[in-house]
Amino acid sequence: FVFLTDVDGVALNWQKPGQRFLGDVTVPQIHAYADAGEFGHDDMEPKVRAALRFLEQRPDRVVRIGNIRNAAAVVRGEAGTCIHY
């Protein structure tokens, strides 16, 4: 499952000092970040929550979130964030 957006991936501390993009992250890790409010309710959180719902039904799959300008690289797993179990 691929979400293409206008940012490079899922980030902690979005647009703040210490911003850090997540490359490879597990479902429990990203669930904890989401529950802590790391992604903002209007920005990345809806995408992350949808990814978690998808992966709960399909734990054998991955979700990739990345920039539409790098779509091919996101699909190949060379850019963006990959969420998996």
Choose between 14 and 3: higher pLDDT: 3
pLDDT at 4 over 90: yes
Average pLDDT, the chain: 95
User: Closest Cα to residue 68, out of 1, 11, 19, 7?
Assistant: 7
Q: What mean pLDDT do residues 51-64 have? A: 97
User: Closest Cα to residue 51, out of 14, 20, 80, 16?
Assistant: 80
User: Closest Cα to residue 80, out of 17, 19, 40, 25?
Assistant: 25
Choose between 42 and 83: higher pLDDT: 83
pLDDT at 40 over 80: no
What is the pLDDT at residue 77? 96
